[in-house]
Amino acid sequence: MKVCLMKLCRLLCSALSLPLHVMQVIGYKRLFPLLAYNVTFSYNDKMHKVKRELFRNVAKFADADGTLRLLEIGCGSGANFKFYPHGCTVMCTDPNPHFEKYLRMSMDANQHLTYDKFICVSGEDMRGVPDGSADVVVCTLVLCSVNNVQQVLQEARRVLRTGGAFYFLEHVVSDSSSWTYFLQYVFEPLWCYLGDGCMITRATWKDIEVAGFSELNLRHIEAPDVSLMIRPHIMGYCIK
């Protein structure tokens, strides 16, 4: 009975989301970066301790000369910049070129970093980034919206040097017996349109576990004070 109710509610939600599909067609990708930029401040405030903990040991992956080359996949508006260690060199990628304006604003606000360049590419195909050129790759709230999670993870492994680390922070699907999962399943069509392709029923940890990293440090957490539908998170890092 619960499954039938879930499917019926999801169908209704999909129908109600049709106007948003029209918005996407006529230019929502131009509007989304502005919305994401403003939401970033609230999310960072709520997740400040979590992000501080996640990135606390990033500096240990620097080269012998102390240089740390960091590549961020799906950088958006640069929400993570303030958590990166002083002096590291950051290269940014994102498939939406309209983020660049807000990215520049974050760069201006975080002068403790050195910025390499912004490349407008998808995480599945970063051919402009050389093999083994990064000490650290960061991917936060990105794997929920890519077309092929495994392909992104393999690209992350390709651009990492041996011994480098892949850091992640992602919201994930809840336990299938929970009411959180019920809400995730029902409202995913609407959330997907509002979030520019964001899926809230992905078990992303399963993809990371089989991606071929030599060492995996992964934790499941409940994100504090965020929407119930994206409260289940995973965080951690893998070593190539």
126-132: list long-range contacts, CB under 8 Å, 24+ apart.
126/73, 126/93, 126/155, 126/158, 126/159, 129/71, 129/91, 129/93, 129/159, 130/159, 131/158, 131/159, 132/158, 132/159, 132/160, 132/161, 132/162
pLDDT number for residue 14: 62
pLDDT number for residue 4: 72
Q: pLDDT, tens digit, for every residue of 132-148? A: 999 999 999 999 999 99
Question: Most confidently modeled of 16-20, 127-131, 134-138?
Answer: 134-138
pLDDT top residue among 149 and 29: 149
Average pLDDT of 50-55? Answer: 97
pLDDT number for residue 23: 55
Instruction: Determine if the pTM surpasses 0.95.
Output: no
Query: Are the C-beta atoms of 169 and 54 separated by less than 8 Å?
Result: yes
